Structure 1
Amino acid sequence: MIKFFRQTRYDLMNKNKTGKYLKYAIGETILVVVGILIALQINNWNENKKNRQQELIILENILQDLENDKIGLNKIIERRISKVASAEIMISYYEGVKIDKLSDYYSHWTNVLYWEAHYPRNIAFKELVNSGNVSIIKNADIRNTLLDITASYEELFAVREHMYDDYGIYLYSPYSEIIDYGDGIKVWSNPNIKIELSEKDIAVALKSKAIKNGFTLASFNNVGLQEQLIQILNNVDLTIVWIKKEIEQ
């Protein structure tokens, strides 16, 4: 094609047809520019298609992580609710409520002291953040909510770390010198188990203001964590809906 254009220009010049030559040259230039623009457009289209395919793969992976995270969030929320209930019962014992069965005291304090933590399964989005390529997710709602979820988890981790320190000071340390942990674990794991429990140890524990304060803090902090977890779960549910819609487009 280029050889044809060159030969045409040469023929026009030899025949002194300057006007036609200029018109032809301008037309040829326009054709070349149009050809370049079309080539760029095709290249951009191919690049956008490639990026979209990559985005969809990433969204699929993030969706899978979020759905797994949702399962873990529901479980830990249930456990936080259970711990708050047990902590409130333990506080009532320290405020004079009668203990009907020794196993109730052992079971509830073990339920509160048993340390449980949920860690999000956010592998795909974490890798995306570390690569600095978050902008590949074009939907701003999805992108911003994922960032909000990450920030919420960081805040939750800070609260949880503080709560663990409180557990060590007000519960783990005082109890370790008073009550047999093994008995508590046995009763908590199997409420129907028949073992001899120490009424004397419980009486000593009930005199500890540190332990009472520990259960007060445990109730307060578990309520706070529960609220944070519910907010994260709501954002996870919302993001799952948005990602599914984005994938279906």
Structure 2
Amino acid sequence: MIKFFRKIRLNLLSENKFTKYLFYALGEIILVVIGILIALAINNANQNRIKSNNEQTYLTGLEQEFKTSRLKLQELISINKKNCEGSKKILEYITYNDNNLSEAAFSNLLYNTFSNDISFNPNNSLLNEMINSGNLKTLSNDELRKRLTNWLSTMEDISRQEKELSVQREKVLDMFRTDKTSLRTIFEQTGMYNQIGLPKAENEISNLQLLNSTEFENNILMFIFTGYATEQAHYVPLMRDLESTLILIRKEIKE
């Protein structure tokens, strides 16, 4: 093909058709430029297609991660509510000095309220990979990128609050590590001893005297307030952020 065009140019020059040669040369340059532009356009289209495919892959993965994190957060909120409700029930027995409360009922209430520590463990593996590899820029939505970046810093704030709640829980549990109270009684009354196969004690120590302890009441109150703050000031706003982020992700996913 190159030889064909070169032959035409040589013929034009040999025939002293210089003006036609110039027009032909200009046309040839234009054709070359057009060819380059077409090649660039095709390459850009391919690059954009690859970028779009990568973005959709990331968006689909992020949607699954945030849906799983939402389920975990819902479960955590439910457990925290249960713990707070159990603590309030204990506080009622303290306040109204209910002498009809049995050792078994008190043990079950204590076990159900303080046996579960809470910690939000969201699915962030893909998000961390995107941030560490610099692939977060693959997402075209600026607001979504901002939310995803802030999400990790929010997790640090949530973790600090959960540690404070764990401290208050441990203060309650520490009261059962003295010789005035008995963990054995709680485990026996709740059936944990039989489940594990531990020997039953001959003399059972009652924990009901804790209902007359100001220290126990103070620890229960601190646990209630910290649990309430964890839900209202942290988990509820976090759920709103999670839901709005999911909405943004879904808007970017092409069906």
TM-score range, shorter chain: 0.7 to 0.9
Sort the Cα spacing of 1:188 and 1:234 in 2 relative to 1 into closer, same or farther, 3 A.
Answer: farther
Give the C-alpha shift of residue 79 in structure 1: 0.8
Give the C-alpha shift of residue 100 in structure 1: 3.1
Give the C-alpha shift of residue 53 in structure 1: 1.0
Which one of 214, 231, 238 corresponds to residue 232 of structure 1?
Answer: 238
More displaced, 181-190 or 25-34?
Answer: 181-190
Would you say the 8 A contact 1:149–1:232 is kept in 2?
no
Aligned partner of residue 207 in structure 2, secondary structure: helix
Would you say the 8 A contact 2:76–2:119 is kept in 1?
yes
Sort the Cα spacing of 1:201 and 1:123 in 2 relative to 1 into closer, same or farther, 3 A.
Answer: same
Give the C-alpha shift of residue 156 in structure 1: 0.5
More displaced, 10-19 or 181-190?
Answer: 181-190
Sort the Cα spacing of 1:224 and 1:184 in 2 relative to 1 into closer, same or farther, 3 A.
Answer: same
Alpha-carbon distance in structure 2 between the residues aligned to 1:188 and 1:28: 92
More displaced, 140-149 or 154-163?
Answer: 140-149
How many equivalent pairs are there? Answer: 244
Would you say the 8 A contact 1:76–1:118 is kept in 2?
yes
User: Could you say which residue in structure 2 is the equivalent of 1:79?
Assistant: 79
User: Could you say which residue in structure 1 is the equivalent of 2:114?
Assistant: 113
**Backbone CA RMSD of aligned residues:** 2.7
Amino acid at match of 2:223: A
The answer to whether residue 157 in structure 2 is matched with residue 151 in structure 1 is no
Aligned partner of residue 138 in structure 1, secondary structure: coil
Would you say the 8 A contact 1:108–1:188 is kept in 2?
no
Sort the Cα spacing of 1:220 and 1:47 in 2 relative to 1 into closer, same or farther, 3 A.
Answer: same
Aligned partner of residue 16 in structure 1, secondary structure: coil
Alpha-carbon distance in structure 2 between the residues aligned to 1:63 and 1:79: 25
Give the C-alpha shift of residue 199 in structure 1: 7.1
Misfit runs of 4+, over 6 Å: none
Listed as ranges, the gaps of 5+ residues in structure 1 are: none
CA offset digits 1:111-167 (Å, max 9, x no partner):
332213231112221211121210111123333333333332221001111222333
Sort the Cα spacing of 1:187 and 1:142 in 2 relative to 1 into closer, same or farther, 3 A.
Answer: farther
Superposition pairs for residues 1-249 of structure 1, below 5 Å? Answer: 1-102=1-102, 103-114=104-115, 115-168=117-170, 170-177=171-178, 178-185=180-187, 187=189, 200-203=206-209, 205-227=210-232, 228-249=234-255
Would you say the 8 A contact 1:99–1:105 is kept in 2?
no
Listed as ranges, the gaps of 5+ residues in structure 2 are: 193-200
Alpha-carbon distance in structure 2 between the residues aligned to 1:196 and 1:131: 62
Alpha-carbon distance in structure 1 between the residues aligned to 2:72 and 2:188: 25
Identity of aligned residues (%): 25
Sort the Cα spacing of 1:47 and 1:96 in 2 relative to 1 into closer, same or farther, 3 A.
Answer: same
Provide TM-score, normalisation by structure 1.
0.84
